[in-house]
Structure 1
Amino acid sequence: MRIDAIIEDARVRTLDPARPTASRIGIWAGRIVGLDEELDGARADVVLDAGGATVLPGFNDAHAHSVWFGQTLAEVDLAAERTPDGVYDRIREASGRSADGEWIIASGFNPLGLDGRVDRDALDRASDGRPVWIKHASGHAATLSGAALRRIGVDDGPREDPLGGVIVRDERGRPTGLLEENAMRLVQDVLLPDPLVRIEEALGLATAQYAREGLTSVTDAGIAGGWIGHSPREFAAYQRAHERGLLRTRMQAMVTLDALVDLDGHDDDPRAVGLTAGIRSGVGDDRLQLGPVKVFTDGSLLGSTAAMSEDYEHDHGNHGYLLGDPDEMRRRVLRAAAGGWALALHAIGDAAVEYALDVIDEAQAAHGRAAMPSRIEHGGVVRPEQLERMAALGVSLVPQPRFIDEFGDGMAAKLGAERTGRSYPAASVLRAGAVLAGSSDRPVAPGEPLRVIQSFVERRTETGAQYGPDERLSVTEAIRACTVGAAEATGWAGRKGVLARGALADLVVLGDDPHAVATDRIGAIDVVATYVGGDPTHGGLDAR
């Protein structure tokens, strides 16, 4: 038998319990056709020498925001700024490169790590009167200059807050420039939708970076609507980027619930909602696929807007809130389920997790399980009985361990010791028998998968403090979360996340074995090469 390629002299960790290790991998037509002795007698068009390097299944980020991330690569980066003056300096530099009246857009801003508070009037001075839009790293708030507030129709007079959002005001009633949750739509109503070509270029930038990090599959957790979407035709931009060869990774996209519309049908059909997001024929292969519908049930732990069953620590009377009328949101989610959609419910606080599980339970009872698993996105605080319920319902949990590295001290202060122990769980998810999927929520937090694995293992905050140490994973468990677990959560169990006969030939070649280095060095391991369907997307191995 003649095949496309054989990789030899590799230290393969397959993550397949039936054959945990191998030294040779055979590839034909984008899939793995055999390992080791299964290749005896086969001839290959090319033989690749791994030189004893470690080979793993390609990494899968089950929750990221690829368009948003790609755009941040071209925006003012505030991630390293720790003082208001540092923020003003970066805005002043950008102003010197901007035309009069042009919007200055900045990303990566973390107010929890800031020594002080950014002032709207100081932003006006730094920008020389240009409108400034600062996107918070959490994705659940934005800070605007005074000029930007006026551009979106927010003046210093009274104005009602939008449902599920807050225009934050000072003690005199004057807007501070901070917009929470759905109030951010006021900015987007002015600046969006983005042109399709801009979205395509952002996807090209994002997926090129993904490939350099060993990622072979990524799920975009919300497109085409809400405050997270960039255009009602956003999926069309994905298709165009795929056709132009810009996508370096396999992509799955979740459409937001508010992008779905009521569907007509026979009187005997259930009332359902469906999609008008620019989709056309060609959707649904192993390179580009429509995922679950994305639903935001609550807000952000960083912004103290996630819905908790108890008040935040030292914030009496505030336990967050749901981002809409609970009954109306439930009705819409059930109609999405009636239309055959899997459900991906953003739920950070334990009260939101309870609400999400109730809705998923009701949806499955009425309409059965969808073609791919339903999911809880984030799980900032999860109670033990909720994990058991997830396992029983077949619901995957998709947490982001890098939040601990980046924001852990601030999150712990908001939660207190007892809830911190149940925050962004991992080990207890596996003990309960539920599916744990590795993810980053990039660009909310950095997303290099090897660093995600390290974070699962170490669970230490930015100052080195332990954060729920009982939830630490072994190195093998952490790798499985970012491969096998992510594949299961995205509906690709057995076809992604393992190196076994019949699986997609998606793999990453590493400069060292994560099991063989100190845990604090896992994130620094070199990604030698990344292959998608047997084709190199980053680096490459030498041919013999």
Structure 2
Amino acid sequence: MLIRNAEINFDQGVDVRITGERISAIESSLLPLPEEEVIDANGGALLPGLNDHHVHLYAFAAAQASVSCGPPQVRDAEALRERLRAAAATLSDGAWLRGIAYHESVAGEIDRDWLDAAVPNHPVRVQHRSGRLWILNSSALKTIGAEYDLSAPLERVDGRATGRLYDSDAWLRTRTSATRPALHQVSRLFASYGITGLTDTSHQNGPAEFSAFAEARSRGELLQALRVMGDARLDAVTDVAGVTRGEHKFHLHDHELPEFDALCADIRRSHSASRAVAFHSVTRTDLVFALAALREVGSIKGDRIEHGAVVPPELLNDICELGLTVATQPHFISERGDAYLRDVAAEDQPWLYRLRAFIDAGVPLAAGSDVPYGDANPWASMQAAVSRRSESGVVMAQNESLTPEQALALFLSPLDAPGAAPRKIIVGAIADLCLLTTPWRDARIDLSTVRVQRTWAAGRSIWKM
């Protein structure tokens, strides 16, 4: 395949030949070979395929059939009631209604009674935007047999279940459908953004999930290369074509932290299996605890912090000293910034989702969408890294903003080395590529408007506009 009139390195016009899975030639002008497919890039920027370094694939796939229950789609209680009732009206008798992305700014701390008043005749479960909380109505509690089951991990007040279920996804899956959703739709959505690599960071992933991902990849349902984080059970898993074992993920919550010595033992066990660790860190307390454990055990190359939502200067120094990588979400400033300004302590607001400070300190920095808890569009995330602007227009910690080129680089590092040097289009490289509709000088003006006309993974077309 020959791609003509493409732009690489932001300003260099070239022709690029792909042979099999690799780039075989780059010249100012190449003649087509007999029967070779020729694609005219029309001056569009040809970039390495993007890598999204933080996703939750099966949750994202399930979200496609769910009702959005939070901002920006839903902003008040009446709008939520109307949306839930409209969705319920389309369902067959007894069918589940699944909501996602709820935030208490919409209708406060809702519970089973609130949901019963909105939708009394269908089992309903609504997930909080954080991913940590499900709220079930009475019909749902009855359907899963949890109303009077005192062993069920439900919140109860005076012995009565409120319908609120914290940090119990695995338990809930055993009571509802165990069928994994297909990945076809979300994989093609990623491809439309130019994404050729993903890291699934779900902390509960084990051998069964790893095998399911490998099967989806082998049958062509999953188009991207995938790195799979998960729990200690993955220590013994062997990589397969297109699916590799990732870090041991620890999902910390500052109100319920694990026993420190046990955590240190778990880190040592994974390190001894030549496996780095990753810590979910969205509060100052989470981060302090994770850094203390790594200081006690000792860090290895590849240990990383997920989100790094609040990183004050003294903790940034510790991250540097431990040689850690950070995988963050720049778009949370645009998507959630106004809520952060309202809810996050004033002393922590300057340290929210920092970017430039990490780069200036030499900390390897990468980005991921955190879908379904954030927008899947990496170009919107890049623009958020440049503008640092909330939905209402407030600029937050402008000193943390990046150039368009630095923002792009957050998605160009290898899956197994997030934050390392951006991959380049060079002869011999795997042909993971995305072709934009415009040259880079136009794309960089507003990255959120970027459109991808073609995407190739290992030389194979996986998206065409």
- TM-score, normalised with respect to structure 1: 0.77
Note closer, same or farther for the CA distance 1:146–1:184 as it changes in structure 2 (3 Å cut): farther
2:432 to 494, 501, 506: 506
Summarize deviations over 1:22-69 as a string: whole Å, max 9, x none: 5232322312234326x8799583332211111111111100111111
Answer yes or no: is the 8 Å Cα contact 1:60–1:482 preserved in 2. yes
Note closer, same or farther for the CA distance 1:516–1:485 as it changes in structure 2 (3 Å cut): farther
Shift of 1:517: 5.3
Summarize deviations over 1:120-140 as a string: whole Å, max 9, x none: 224224333332111122212
Pairing 1:524-543 to 2, within 5 Å after superposition: 524-539=449-464
SS of the residue aligned with 1:209?
helix
Quote the Cα distance in structure 1 between the aligned partners of 2:424 and 2:156: 48
Q: Does 1:289 align with 2:280?
A: no
SS of the residue aligned with 1:33?
strand
The aligned counterpart of 1:254 is: 229
SS of the residue aligned with 1:235?
helix
The aligned counterpart of 2:401 is: 472
Q: Does 1:130 align with 2:122?
A: yes
Answer yes or no: is the 8 Å Cα contact 1:108–1:444 preserved in 2. yes
Summarize deviations over 1:470-497 as a string: whole Å, max 9, x none: 111111110111113766328xx57x73
Counterpart amino acid of residue 240 in structure 2:
G
Summarize deviations over 1:506-536 as a string: whole Å, max 9, x none: 11111234543575x3212221111111221
Quote the Cα distance in structure 1 between the aligned partners of 2:257 and 2:90: 38
Quote the Cα distance in structure 1 between the aligned partners of 2:444 and 2:202: 36
- Report the number of matched residues: 462
1:111 to 104, 107, 116: 104
1:241 to 216, 220, 224: 216
Quote the Cα distance in structure 1 between the aligned partners of 2:218 and 2:120: 42
Quote the Cα distance in structure 1 between the aligned partners of 2:432 and 2:156: 47
Answer yes or no: is the 8 Å Cα contact 1:132–1:145 preserved in 2. yes
Quote the Cα distance in structure 2 between the aligned partners of 1:119 and 1:355: 31
Note closer, same or farther for the CA distance 1:75–1:136 as it changes in structure 2 (3 Å cut): same
SS of the residue aligned with 1:482?
coil
Quote the Cα distance in structure 2 between the aligned partners of 1:141 and 1:497: 38
Shift of 1:362: 4.1
Quote the Cα distance in structure 1 between the aligned partners of 2:322 and 2:12: 33
Answer yes or no: is the 8 Å Cα contact 1:60–1:487 preserved in 2. no
The aligned counterpart of 1:326 is: 260
Quote the Cα distance in structure 2 between the aligned partners of 1:235 and 1:243: 12
Summarize deviations over 1:392-439 as a string: whole Å, max 9, x none: 433110111111111111122222333111111100000110111011
Quote the Cα distance in structure 1 between the aligned partners of 2:13 and 2:317: 35
1:460 to 356, 368, 389: 389
Answer yes or no: is the 8 Å Cα contact 2:202–2:229 preserved in 1. yes
Shift of 1:357: 2.4
The aligned counterpart of 1:318 is: none
Summarize deviations over 1:243-302 as a string: whole Å, max 9, x none: 211112111111234x45xxxxxxxxxxxxx34xxx6x7x333x221211211122xxxx
The aligned counterpart of 2:69 is: 78
Answer yes or no: is the 8 Å Cα contact 1:220–1:253 preserved in 2. yes
Runs of 4+ in 1 over 6 A off after TM superposition: 39-42
Q: Does 1:391 align with 2:320?
A: yes
2:4 to 2, 8, 18: 8
Answer yes or no: is the 8 Å Cα contact 1:156–1:173 preserved in 2. no
Q: Does 1:341 align with 2:275?
A: yes
Q: Does 1:355 align with 2:289?
A: yes
Shift of 1:186: 4.5
1:60 to 51, 56, 64: 51
Counterpart amino acid of residue 474 in structure 1:
T
The aligned counterpart of 1:35 is: 26
The aligned counterpart of 2:344 is: 415
Answer yes or no: is the 8 Å Cα contact 1:343–1:360 preserved in 2. no
SS of the residue aligned with 2:221?
coil
Counterpart amino acid of residue 269 in structure 2:
R
Note closer, same or farther for the CA distance 1:248–1:421 as it changes in structure 2 (3 Å cut): same
Answer yes or no: is the 8 Å Cα contact 1:101–1:131 preserved in 2. yes
Shift of 1:358: 3.0
Quote the Cα distance in structure 2 between the aligned partners of 1:387 and 1:537: 39
Answer yes or no: is the 8 Å Cα contact 2:356–2:399 preserved in 1. yes
Note closer, same or farther for the CA distance 1:189–1:161 as it changes in structure 2 (3 Å cut): closer
The aligned counterpart of 1:96 is: 89
Quote the Cα distance in structure 2 between the aligned partners of 1:524 and 1:322: 41
Q: CA RMSD in A?
A: 3.0
SS of the residue aligned with 2:285?
helix
Quote the Cα distance in structure 2 between the aligned partners of 1:323 and 1:110: 23
SS of the residue aligned with 2:173?
helix
Quote the Cα distance in structure 2 between the aligned partners of 1:329 and 1:487: 24
Q: Does 1:424 align with 2:348?
A: no
Quote the Cα distance in structure 1 between the aligned partners of 2:114 and 2:438: 48
Shift of 1:385: 3.3
Counterpart amino acid of residue 189 in structure 2:
Q
Answer yes or no: is the 8 Å Cα contact 2:5–2:13 preserved in 1. no
| Aligned-residue identity in percent | 27
Answer yes or no: is the 8 Å Cα contact 1:167–1:183 preserved in 2. no
Answer yes or no: is the 8 Å Cα contact 1:69–1:442 preserved in 2. yes
- Contiguous gaps of at least 5 residues in structure 1: 15-19, 261-273, 299-306, 308-320
SS of the residue aligned with 1:88?
helix
- Contiguous gaps of at least 5 residues in structure 2: none
Pairing 1:356-375 to 2, within 5 Å after superposition: 356-364=290-298, 369=300, 373-375=302-304
Answer yes or no: is the 8 Å Cα contact 1:161–1:183 preserved in 2. no
Greater displacement, 356-365 / 464-473: 356-365
Counterpart amino acid of residue 265 in structure 2:
R
